[in-house]
Structure 1
Amino acid sequence: MRTSPEQAIEVNGLWRRYGPKGEGGFDAVRGLDFSVARGELFALLGTNGAGKTSTVELLEGLDRPSRGTVRVLGHDPVTRRSVVRPRIGIMLQEGGFPSDLTVAETVRMWEGVTSNPRPGGEALELVGLSSRVPVRIKQLSGGEKRRLDLALALLGRPEVLFLDEPTTGMDAEGRRDTWRIVRDLHEMGTTVLLTTHYLEEAEELADRLAIMREGRIVVSGTPQEVTAARPSRIRFTLPDDVAPARLPLSVHAAVTGRRVEVRTGRMQETLTELLLWARSEGVELTELDARSASLEEAFLDIARGGEQAEAQEAAA
């Protein structure tokens, strides 16, 4: 397989199977194809069981694919582990550090197994843990433990950084601080592959993203491209003396009591038509809210699509 120097990660026909062939096994990853350019921040999204973690473990070289190929920085991360591993950083979902060690002791231990590490104090300063150096791991908050995980992933000055649910357990301030750190790394040229359940996080940080369902990529693109494929939404409440039947015929609305919701692929035209109608009819549209589709709505549509498919299959 020939790789492009422009790509930090290349995945072709990737499968990961657990268990034996036939009914006794399970395909967690089913034929993935995607790439991540050098210096890009790519988010891999999906519901629980979609195959995200199984995919990332193959990219990190923790297991061999059942079928297909993976290249990280131009190399197979399993057979060329000695070449790839010093150039990547990995932040797992859980660090699993000895609870009686202090932050300083943990960093020193990690420095000892890292090729050409940056100073531990520098890594701790990057993630805002400089003041917690003498504290034991068991005394850290959940968010602080995640920051320590990130500091250790940054020790080797990685060219490619894998972040698996990096802000789980953090409060809102800690999450925003971590976003800032990730943005800074990204701006310095680090390639980042991110998995997260926080859709706002992906929308805020990612250059491109892919949404997985049942081991496959269902949709991919920039956050704007993914949301643009979904209709915008306009909501408002009609006065008690105005029947929904008076709405313009060209506006296809769902009505619940006095509450109206319009889904449209032509936000500006539809909203203009509604406002002109309201002005000409002397109707006040209270609680008016118009917004483009969000990444969360796109994600939920895809997740619901999978549930509907399962229900149809069960009923057949």
Structure 2
Amino acid sequence: MNKSRRTVTGLGVTLTLAGLLTACGQPGSAAAQTRPSSSTPAGSSTPATGIHMITNNGHRLAFHVTAGRKATIVLDAGGGEDSSYWAKIVPPLSRATGAQIITYDRAGTGDSDEVPGPWKVQNAVSDLKAGLDQLGVTGKVLLVAHSQAGEVATYFARQNPHRVGGAVLVDASLPDFYTDPQIARIVAVTTPQIEALKAQATLTKPERQLIATAALYTPMHHRYHQVTWPKSIPAAVIVSTGTPFEGSAPDMQHWRDAQADFAARAADRDLVVADSSHDIPLEKPDLVIQQIRTRLQAH
């Protein structure tokens, strides 16, 4: 893992989560612009395979659809990543399940527009909801969330429990992790790095996202620690042996404990350990697919 990737992962789990921790606002008007696929039957009510550009609150977001039937699976990547992160999973998952699969680029990543100002969870959840609405997804979805996307999934599920049939949380950022001592520890480590980024003459897209998210880090994480996952929504919890904090034994153990505590809080949550780094979807795609299939069969 190179230095910039490690910055996005190590800080991304902690810093790019910051704006996700407030209560979500109401989505603005949204309009969909699509490039339909020739494989979509005439008159079909399902979105075509391909990229669909959604406009929400003045910015455009790229939603990528693999057409299918029956269930809808939404794959959401972690901090600093875009929809291409799921490249190893989408084709075999489509063959194995026949489901409709949706990946997307959150604001500031991939083909989606950047949004100025602090990164806020109400914007992220509004974008996801707008995308599903404009694509005509009305049934329950299975949320698959990696790393930072765990917080998007948590707030989306809380606000829209009728739209979520289950979840696979892949080394996801969960509320249990963000105790006051852990927040203080992270702030102490990351503040100098953020200040160094601000001093640079030019910044990459991920670096701008890190700075935007750091602005609200502490209050957002205090708030997120009080949030609970809806008990009506079952979840598989996959935790890596490496965690996002390789090299820091206390942080690694706290991450693992938080995942186990979350899983133990309800009878319909399963804890699965992956012998891998934090990048479980890249290193153990078959394991992720297996857990998705299990959730689809159960519900």
TM bin (shorter chain)? under 0.3
- Please state which structure has a larger fraction of its residues in strand: 1
Considering Cα pairs closer than 8 Å and 6+ residues apart, tell me whether 1 or 2 has the greater RCO. 2
From the CA coordinates, give the structure whose radius of gyration is larger.
1
- Please state which structure has a larger fraction of its residues in helix: 2
